[in-house]
Amino acid sequence: MDFKKDVLDFKGRVLVDFYAEWCGPCQALKPILEEASLELPEGAKIVSVDVDEYSDLASEYEVSSIPCLVVFENGLEKDRMVGLVSKKKILKMLLK
Protein backbone atom coordinates (compact mmCIF):
# COMPACT_ATOMS: atom_id res chain seq x y z
CA MET A 1 0.00 0.00 0.00
CA ASP A 2 1.24 3.46 -0.91
CA PHE A 3 -0.57 5.86 1.46
CA LYS A 4 0.63 8.96 -0.39
CA LYS A 5 -0.59 7.67 -3.76
CA ASP A 6 -3.72 5.88 -2.54
CA VAL A 7 -4.93 8.55 -0.11
CA LEU A 8 -3.06 11.85 -0.07
CA ASP A 9 -2.68 12.25 -3.85
CA PHE A 10 -6.11 10.81 -4.71
CA LYS A 11 -8.44 13.36 -6.27
CA GLY A 12 -11.68 12.64 -4.45
CA ARG A 13 -12.82 11.20 -1.13
CA VAL A 14 -11.10 8.28 0.56
CA LEU A 15 -12.36 6.50 3.65
CA VAL A 16 -9.35 5.08 5.49
CA ASP A 17 -10.15 2.17 7.79
CA PHE A 18 -7.45 1.94 10.47
CA TYR A 19 -7.77 -1.59 11.87
CA ALA A 20 -5.92 -4.57 13.33
CA GLU A 21 -6.34 -8.29 12.65
CA TRP A 22 -6.75 -9.03 16.38
CA CYS A 23 -9.51 -6.43 16.86
CA GLY A 24 -13.01 -7.97 17.09
CA PRO A 25 -14.95 -4.82 16.17
CA CYS A 26 -12.54 -4.28 13.23
CA GLN A 27 -13.31 -7.76 11.92
CA ALA A 28 -17.05 -7.13 12.34
CA LEU A 29 -16.67 -3.92 10.32
CA LYS A 30 -15.01 -5.65 7.33
CA PRO A 31 -18.21 -7.00 5.71
CA ILE A 32 -19.95 -3.67 6.34
CA LEU A 33 -17.15 -1.85 4.51
CA GLU A 34 -17.34 -4.38 1.68
CA GLU A 35 -21.08 -3.72 1.33
CA ALA A 36 -20.55 0.04 1.48
CA SER A 37 -17.86 -0.18 -1.21
CA LEU A 38 -20.52 -1.41 -3.65
CA GLU A 39 -22.53 1.80 -3.15
CA LEU A 40 -19.79 4.40 -3.13
CA PRO A 41 -20.40 7.65 -4.97
CA GLU A 42 -18.19 8.29 -8.00
CA GLY A 43 -14.79 9.62 -7.02
CA ALA A 44 -14.72 7.82 -3.66
CA LYS A 45 -12.96 4.72 -2.39
CA ILE A 46 -12.12 2.80 0.77
CA VAL A 47 -8.58 1.92 1.85
CA SER A 48 -7.67 -0.25 4.84
CA VAL A 49 -4.55 0.35 6.95
CA ASP A 50 -3.34 -2.28 9.44
CA VAL A 51 -2.14 -0.28 12.47
CA ASP A 52 0.34 -3.02 13.41
CA GLU A 53 1.93 -3.03 9.97
CA TYR A 54 1.76 0.77 9.52
CA SER A 55 2.17 2.00 13.10
CA ASP A 56 3.89 5.15 11.81
CA LEU A 57 0.71 6.16 9.93
CA ALA A 58 -1.48 5.36 12.93
CA SER A 59 0.74 7.54 15.07
CA GLU A 60 0.92 10.35 12.50
CA TYR A 61 -2.88 10.51 12.30
CA GLU A 62 -3.31 10.12 16.07
CA VAL A 63 -5.26 6.87 15.85
CA SER A 64 -5.57 5.74 19.46
CA SER A 65 -8.69 3.55 19.22
CA ILE A 66 -9.72 1.15 16.47
CA PRO A 67 -11.56 0.72 14.27
CA CYS A 68 -11.02 4.32 13.28
CA LEU A 69 -12.53 5.60 10.04
CA VAL A 70 -11.00 8.76 8.63
CA VAL A 71 -12.31 10.52 5.52
CA PHE A 72 -9.79 12.37 3.39
CA GLU A 73 -10.72 14.65 0.52
CA ASN A 74 -7.98 15.70 -1.88
CA GLY A 75 -5.39 14.74 0.74
CA LEU A 76 -6.93 16.55 3.71
CA GLU A 77 -8.72 14.99 6.68
CA LYS A 78 -12.41 15.93 6.60
CA ASP A 79 -14.11 13.62 9.10
CA ARG A 80 -13.42 10.85 11.60
CA MET A 81 -15.42 8.23 13.43
CA VAL A 82 -14.28 5.59 15.93
CA GLY A 83 -15.91 2.23 16.57
CA LEU A 84 -18.22 -0.15 14.79
CA VAL A 85 -20.57 1.86 12.58
CA SER A 86 -23.37 1.07 10.15
CA LYS A 87 -23.14 1.09 6.36
CA LYS A 88 -25.56 4.02 6.38
CA LYS A 89 -23.19 6.08 8.58
CA ILE A 90 -20.21 5.15 6.43
CA LEU A 91 -21.94 6.27 3.23
CA LYS A 92 -23.18 9.44 4.94
CA MET A 93 -19.58 10.27 5.95
CA LEU A 94 -18.44 9.87 2.35
CA LEU A 95 -21.27 12.01 0.98
CA LYS A 96 -20.77 14.98 3.35
Catalytic residue annotation: 23, 26
Q: Which helix (H) or strand (E) holds 36?
A: helix 24-37
Alpha carbon 78 to chain centroid, angstroms: 12
| Ramachandran quadrant class, 12 (left: phi over 0; alpha: psi -120 to 50; beta: rest) | left
